[in-house]
Amino acid sequence: MRNLVACMLLLGSALPAADLGGTWFMEQAGRSGSQARKTYYYFKVEGNSFTGQMVSYTDSRKVQNGKIDGNAITFETQGAFNDRPSQMRGEVNGDDLTISGVGGRGGRGGPGGGRGNFTPPVYKKISATMAFPADLLPNHKPLPPLKALPPNGLALTPPMGWNSWNKFAGRVDDKSVREMADAIASSGMRDAGYVYVNIDDTWEAGRDANGNILTNEKFPDMKALADYVHSKGLKIGIYSGPGRLTCASFTASYDHEEQDAKTWAAWGIDYLKYDWCAASGVYTKEEHVPAYQKMGLALRASGRPIVYSLCQYGWLDVGEWGASVGGNLWRTTGDISDRWDSMANIGFNQNGREKYAGPGHWNDPDMLEIGNGGMTDTEYRTHMSLWSMLAAPLLAGHDVRTMGDSIKEILLNREVIAIDQDKAGHQGFRIRQDGEQEVWKKPLAEGVAVALFNRGKDPAKMTVKWSEAGVTKANPKVRDLWAHKDIEAPGEYTVEVPSHGVVMLKVN
C-alpha cells in the first residue's frame, strides 16, 4: 500500500505543469437518438495556475482560478448566465485527462451530465495551442434589433393542456400522443379547458439537404399527428430552442428560425415551447433577448397563430421583456419535480411576480406534476390551488390514460379552474404569512379568491378576515371551492387546514 501511494505521488509530481497547456477534447456517444457530446477545453498555464475556456455544442464557459497540484487540477467554470461558478477537478494520467464536477457534475450543459453511475469523461490533448473547430463557434448573422412586438391576441387566459415531459421525457412518441389526445377528450379534460397537447423534447432528427427540420422515427408524420389531435377538438404544441441543440441534445432551431416556424405552421402546430439550454454555446448574454425576439418574429411571419412559450428559467428578469419579444408565457424557474419541496418552493416563491402577468402574457412556474405519484392527494390539491391562484398555465404532465378518480377530481375541479381562468387575468399574491401558514388573494373580475395554505407538518387552525382580503361587504357570499359548498362566515372565517393542505374560497 505504502509503495502504491509513493508510486502515485511520484507519477503525480511527474506532470510538468506546462503539459496541461493547450486544447483537450472528448466525445461521448449521445443517448437514444441524441447527438454525441463533443467538449473542448483550452488551458493557458502560468506556473502552477491556469485559466482558459470550455466550449461544446451546448455551452461556452470561462475557465478560471485553475490550480495544478502534481497530477491533480482544480478549476472553476463560469457561464454567462450562472450566478456562481461550477467547481471542477481533474486528473492527468499519462495522455488522459479526466474532468468532473466537485460534488456534482458541472451543472446543466456542462460536461459529464447524465444519470446513474458516473465515470468521468476522458479528454485527449489535440493541440499545444487553442484549437477549437470553426464549426463549433457561433456563426450567426446579427440578430434583429429589439423592438416591442404588439400582442398576438393569443392566450387571453393562461394556456391549459398537457405536456409530455414530466411523465414521458424521451419516451414520447406518435402513439402515446394520439392515446393521450383520446384520453384528454374522453376523460372530460378537454371540455374543462385542457386543449393543448404539447410534445416536448426528443421528437427532432437532423435537417434535410435544404435545411428543413426532420422528425425522428418516433414521429413518422407530424402533419398527420397534428390532424389527428385537431380532429379531437384539441390543439397541438411542439418544442425547440435557440441553440444548435435542445436540452436533451436533439436538433434545435439555431440559424433556421424562420424555416422552422414555417415548417411548424405547415404541420398545423399551435404552440411552441422554446428552451434556451444549449443556446449558451452560441449566444452571449447580450444576445439572449434578441434571440428570443428572433423566434417571436419568425412565428408572427409563419402565417399561423402560434402561442409562444419562453423557457429560460426566469433568467435576466424575463417578466420585464418576455411579452415584448412576442412571448405569451415564460418560465420563471428551473425544472419542477414530483415532490412536495420542489412544488412548494417554486409555487410559493412566485409572490411578487404578479405585476408581469395579464391577458396574453403569463408567468409560468412550470408544468403540473399532479397524478405522477410523488405527492399525496392533499399536496396535489395544494399544487392545483396554488397554480390557479397564480394564474399559471395548467399543463398536466401525467399519464391521462390511467388517471384515477382522485386525480381526475383534482384536475377537473371546475370551480378551481375558473379561478385560474378568470378573465381579468390577475396573478394572486400573499397577503399574510404566519410562519408556515400563508394567506393568498387573487382579485377576480367579480370578487376575490382567497387561499389558506398550511405548509407545516401538522394541521393548523387558520383565520382570514374579509377586510384583509379587501372585501368591503360585511357578509359576503363565501364558497369553499374544494368542498363545493357555500359557507356562512360573516366578517371572517376560521377553519382547520390539513398539513401541506389548502382551503380555497371564492368571496364576493
Question: Applying CB under 6 A, which residues contact ligand GLA?
Answer: 165, 200-201, 246-248, 275, 311, 335
Tell me which of 59, 270, 275, 364 is the catalytic residue.
Answer: 275
Per the CB < 8 A criterion, the answer to whether 434 and 402 are in contact is no
Residue number with CB closer to ligand GLA (25 or 315): 315
Residue number with CB closer to ligand GLA (174 or 200): 200
DSSP code at position 245: B
Who's near 94: CB < 8 A, 6+ residues apart?
A: none
List C-alpha distances in Å: 434 to 378, 437, 485: 20, 5, 27
Q: How far is the CB of 431 from ligand GLA (least distance, A)?
A: 31
Q: How far is the CB of 275 from ligand GLA (least distance, A)?
A: 5
Who's near 441: CB < 8 A, 6+ residues apart?
A: 428, 429, 431, 448, 449, 450, 451, 469, 470
Residue with cell 415532490: 339
Per the CB < 8 A criterion, the answer to whether 241 and 253 are in contact is yes
Q: How far is the CB of 165 from ligand GLA (least distance, A)?
A: 5
Task: Please confirm, yes or no, whether 275 is among the known catalytic residues.
Answer: yes
Residue number with CB closer to ligand GLA (115 or 147): 115
Q: How far is the CB of 331 from ligand GLA (least distance, A)?
A: 7
Annotate 153-162 with b (16+ C-beta within 10 A) or e (fewer).
eebebbbbbb
The cell numbers describing 353, all together, are: 411576480
Reduce the DSSP state of residue 330 to 3 states and report it. Answer: strand
Residue number of the CB atom closest to ligand GLA = 247
Tell me which of 19, 182, 255, 335 is the catalytic residue.
Answer: 335
Q: How far is the CB of 325 from ligand GLA (least distance, A)?
A: 18
Q: Specify which residues 237 forms β-bridges with.
A: 198, 271
Reduce the DSSP state of residue 308 to 3 states and report it. Answer: strand
Residue number with CB closer to ligand GLA (45 or 278): 278
Q: How far is the CB of 249 from ligand GLA (least distance, A)?
A: 9
Residue number with CB closer to ligand GLA (90 or 237): 237
Residue number with CB closer to ligand GLA (50 or 330): 330
Q: How far is the CB of 203 from ligand GLA (least distance, A)?
A: 11
List C-alpha distances in Å: 144 to 281, 291, 324: 19, 8, 14
Closest C-alpha to 204, from 149, 142, 160, 267: 267
Estimate to the nearest angstrom the gap between the alpha carbon of 285 and the chain centroid.
19
Residue number with CB closer to ligand GLA (201 or 260): 201
3-class SS shares of the chain: helix, strand, coil, % to 5 = 25, 30, 45
Task: Please confirm, yes or no, whether 96 is among the known catalytic residues.
Answer: no
Reduce the DSSP state of residue 23 to 3 states and report it. Answer: strand
Q: Which residues are catalytic?
A: 275, 335
